[in-house]
Amino acid sequence: MSIWLLIFTLVAFLLGAYIYTWSSKDRKYVTSRSVASAYDNWTNDALLERLWGDHIHLGYYQKRFSKKDFREAKVDFVHELIRWSGLDQLPRGSQIIDIGCGIGGSARILAKDYGFDVLGISISPEQIRRAKELTPSDLSCQFEVMDALDLKIENGFFDGVWSVEAGPHMVDKKRYADEMLRVLRPGGVLAVADWNIRDPINGKMNHLERGVMHHLLDQWAHPEFSSMNGFKKSLLDSRFCGGPVEMADWTVFTIPSWLDSVFEGIRRPHAIIGLGPAAFFKGLREIPTILLMHWAFAKGLMKFGVFRSRG
Ligand SMILES: C[S@@+](CC[C@H](N)C(=O)[O-])C[C@H]1O[C@@H](n2cnc3c(N)ncnc32)[C@H](O)[C@@H]1O
């Protein structure tokens, strides 16, 4: 990393921390409404989309320090998870639900490249509006506002369930697991990616880690994170779970995303500057959280878990 990138990151961190302290707007999780309103705001100010494209998830890199275009890495992530989970074994025309679909980046790939019929759901009405705007009318992709903890869908309707990085916002992880498996047909494929906290049996949090965790939860409307084993157990405990649950730690393949997401601001300055000074300061506010996320994943306090199972 060049010295200028280091200096930029440090200055951005300090400025961002200052703006965060000074800012009165809080994004602490209270109910799923707080999640919806955080994503409505992120969608409407267009900052995330301009910087990260239409995928609000981490990218997939071959190894920890590999260089790759951030947006390309996000698309690669989707294909890697589709392959790893076995979703690619389903025939074209299969019915897939994307739970917590953001603005539809994954849903469009599932429909376009694999020929699936996709329903994307999100708690954020503005994300659903934007997902519809971004989706060409000839793609078999629908979007609806729906709560993942109360899916208005009959049992066993879908051949595949896909959910990427939505779990950290769920206040009831068991219900999240249970609802995903309930709408999956027997033998259907489940593919989930989640941010997970270190299992307490691998070391209790120290004082510094507790402080960082507090920030990571409150800044991005997260009620809590589950551990990888904890979430695996939630899936196994569901009466709708039809197969073994397998999991893998993809921290090493995804961790470059954190610094890359800050550097995107340098690589595409027009993306932020074009939105005006308010967006610039909002962007700065995110930098301390992004860097603390990087720290937490690098130190093993957080883990990027992927899970696959069968209905
Ligand atoms: C980090 S974003 C990931 C978006 C998308 N999966 C992607 O990869 O681009 C988290 C998503 O989960 C959604 N979400 C959070 N809580 C939800 C809930 N209770 N019901 C439905 N969607 C929810 C958010 O609205 C957002 O779309």
What distance in angstroms lies between residue 6's CA and the mean position of ligand 1's atoms? 31
Of 71-75, 156-160, 164-168, 270-274, least confident by mean pLDDT is: 270-274
User: Which pLDDT score is estimated for 212?
Assistant: 94
Q: Measured from the CB, is residue 104 less than 6 Å from ligand 1?
A: no
Residue 227 DSSP code: B
Which pLDDT score is estimated for 27?
79
Give the confidence band of 311 by pLDDT, cuts at 50, 70, 90.
Answer: very high
Residue 40: pLDDT band by 50, 70, 90 thresholds? very high
Q: What pLDDT score was predicted for residue 23? A: 55
Instruction: Tell me the percentage of the chain whose pLDDT exceeds 70.
Output: 92
pLDDT, tens digit, 9 for 90 and up, residues 251-299: 999 999 999 988 888 888 777 777 777 777 777 888 889 999 999 999 9
Reduced to 3 states, what is the DSSP secondary structure of residue 285? Answer: helix
Taking residues 65-92, what's their average pLDDT?
93
Question: What mean pLDDT, rounded, does the chain reach?
Answer: 91
- Alpha-carbon torsion angle 100, 105, 110, 114, nearest 10: -170
* Residue 24: predicted pLDDT: 46
Cβ-count burial 209-219 (b if 16+ within 10 Å, e if not): beebbeebbeb
> Is residue 18's pLDDT more than 70?
no
Task: Please tell me the distance from the alpha carbon of residue 53 to that of residue 48, in angstroms, as a whole number.
Answer: 7
Does the CB atom of residue 105 touch ligand 1 within 6 A? yes
CB atoms within 10 A of CB 265: 21
Between the CA of 39 and the centroid of ligand 1 the distance, in Å, is 8
Instruction: Tell which one of 35, 257, 289 to mutate to probe ligand 1, the residue whose CB is within 8 A of the most ligand atoms.
Output: 35
Q: What is the pLDDT of residue 297?
A: 97
Q: Could you tell me the distance, in angstroms and rounded to a whole number, from the CA of residue 243 to the centre of ligand 1?
A: 25
Domain boundaries of the chain, sorted by first residue: 3-310
Over range 145-154, report the average pLDDT.
98
Query: What tokens does 222 get?
Result: 């997260």
Q: pLDDT tens, 206-237?
A: 999 999 999 999 989 999 999 999 999 999 99
Distance from the alpha carbon of residue 169 to the mean position of ligand 1, in angstroms = 7
The answer for 191, left when phi > 0, alpha when psi is -120 to 50, beta otherwise, is beta
Written out in words, the top-level CATH class of the domain with range 3-310 is alpha beta
Alpha carbon 90 to its chain's center: 23
232 lines ligand 1 (CB under 6 A): no
Beta-carbon count within 10 A of 136 CB: 9
| Residue that wins the pLDDT comparison between 66 and 147 | 147
**Cα 5 to middle of ligand 1, angstroms:** 31
Q: Which of 34, 37, 39 to mutate to test the pocket of ligand 1 (most atoms within 8 A of CB)?
A: 39
Residue 194 has pLDDT above 90, yes or no: yes
Determine if ligand 1 sits within 6 Å of the CB of residue 148. Answer: yes
Q: For residue 21, is pLDDT > 60?
A: no
Q: Which of 62-66, 106-110, 189-193 has the lowest mean pLDDT?
A: 62-66
Mean pLDDT of 156-166: 98
Separation of CA 190 and ligand 1 centre (Å): 16
